[in-house]
């Protein structure tokens, strides 16, 4: 579905969401769906508030059957720890809401079904989102913790692969409940959504890297400065693999080495992007070094 621009944020809806309302209606869970939407709204609002306070720009909000995913501009992160705080804001708000409601309803001696459901939904939101796999908040926490060592894009790939694995496991559990006559369609939907969203994160890594380079070039032109990061890569490395290994917070220079670890040349991020544009993303770093005069 085509994204809608709201306040500078691209809001898009995952196709699987179309099945949520009729499924909830069939199983008589429209009241639970409404409570879930309210709880999710508070959960996502907490993310947006923390992002704004830290000066981090949210570029996209995707609505999923299991919640929403707020994607941030990695170039607006002052430090990787910023994403840690933003990611934890949602689960903490859901946990706080669940505990607060439990205390209030307990004091007022309210035992209504709706009250119990609202508490349960918030606690489930908290703990599901702490699973360390993209696109969940736990995956963003994991990415923020390892990004300083591996780079933002590599951390995204690792967290996404973990998301695919965990999503498959959850989907398998959902299928098992069907086989054992304890059918729980929710478990399968959660697993499938995690798998598809994690694959989407993987697919977007290259495009995010290219966008990051072009934005960085514009910022350097306008007077901003970046530290240079030099990374050694094998000459047989493909451009599409190299670009996702670049740091989003540095100006990148690739030192290209052969199988004997001897330096055969250097390619900066601008040359890499130009090479991809002219020769395609399958071009090797060695080919770019040999033919670099063509890029002038």
Distance, CA of 168 to CA of 88 (rounded, Å): 24
Of the two residues 30 and 208, the one the predictor is more confident about is: 30
8 Å CB contact between 285 and 258? no
150-164, 229-243, 279-293: which range is least confident on average? 279-293
Whether 151 has a pLDDT exceeding 60, the answer reads yes
- State the pLDDT at residue 74: 67
- State the pLDDT at residue 291: 66
Q: What whole-number percentage of the chain has pLDDT above 90? A: 10
Burial 164-181 (b: 16+ CB within 10 A, else e): bebbeebbeebeeeeeee
- State the pLDDT at residue 31: 80
Whether 169 has a pLDDT exceeding 90, the answer reads yes
Report pLDDT digits (tens) over 81-103: 788 888 899 999 999 999 998 88
Q: How far is CA 284 from the centre of its chain?
A: 28
For 123-136, what is the mean pLDDT?
88
Of the two residues 221 and 286, the one the predictor is more confident about is: 286
- State the pLDDT at residue 14: 74
For 42-70, what is the mean pLDDT?
80
Enumerate residues 6+ apart whose C-beta is below 8 A from 206: 240, 243, 244, 281
Whether 295 has a pLDDT exceeding 50, the answer reads no
Q: What whole-number percentage of the chain has pLDDT above 70? A: 91
**Helices in the chain by DSSP H: which ranges?**
20-26, 30-53, 81-107, 113-129, 137-150, 152-179, 185-221, 239-243, 269-279, 285-290
Whether 294 has a pLDDT exceeding 70, the answer reads no
| Domains located in the chain, CATH noted | 4-218 (no CATH), 226-295 (3.10.580.10)
Report pLDDT digits (tens) over 19-47: 777 877 777 777 877 888 888 888 888 88
Instruction: Indicate the length of the chain as a whole number.
Output: 296
Report pLDDT digits (tens) over 254-282: 999 988 888 988 888 888 888 888 888 88
Q: Residue 293's pLDDT band (boundaries 50, 70, 90)? A: very low
Whether 177 has a pLDDT exceeding 60, the answer reads yes
Enumerate residues 6+ apart whose C-beta is below 8 A from 106: none
Whether 56 has a pLDDT exceeding 70, the answer reads yes
């Amino acid at each position: 579905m085509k994204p809608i621009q709201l306040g500078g944020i691209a809001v898009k809806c995952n196709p699987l969401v179309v099945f949520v309302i009729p499924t909830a209606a069939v199983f008589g869970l429209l009241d639970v769906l409404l409570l879930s939407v309210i709880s999710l709204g508070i959960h996502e609002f907490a993310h947006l508030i923390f992002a704004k306070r830290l000066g981090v720009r949210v570029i996209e909000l995707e609505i999923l059957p299991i919640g929403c995913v707020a994607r941030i501009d990695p170039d607006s992160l002052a430090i990787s720890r910023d994403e840690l705080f933003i990611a934890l804001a949602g689960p903490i708000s859901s946990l706080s809401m669940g505990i607060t409601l439990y205390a209030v309803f307990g004091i007022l001696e309210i035992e209504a079904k709706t009250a119990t459901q609202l508490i349960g939904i918030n606690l489930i939101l908290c703990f599901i989102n702490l699973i360390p796999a993209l696109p969940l908040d736990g995956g963003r926490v994991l990415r923020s913790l390892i990004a300083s060592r591996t780079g933002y894009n590599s951390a995204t790939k690792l967290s996404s692969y973990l998301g695919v694995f965990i999503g498959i496991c959850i989907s398998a559990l959902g299928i098992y409940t069907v086989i054992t006559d304890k059918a729980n369609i929710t478990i399968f939907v959660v697993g499938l959504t995690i798998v598809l969203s994690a694959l989407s994160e993987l697919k977007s890594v290259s495009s995010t890297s290219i966008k990051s380079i072009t934005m960085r070039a514009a910022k350097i032109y306008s007077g901003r400065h970046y530290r240079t990061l030099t990374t050694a890569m094998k000459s047989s490395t493909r451009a599409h693999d190299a670009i996702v290994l670049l740091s989003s917070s540095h100006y990148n220079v690739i030192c290209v080495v052969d199988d004997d670890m001897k330096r055969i040349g250097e390619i900066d991020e601008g040359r890499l992007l130009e090479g991809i544009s002219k020769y395609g993303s399958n071009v090797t770093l060695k080919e770019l070094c040999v033919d670099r005069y063509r890029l002038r």
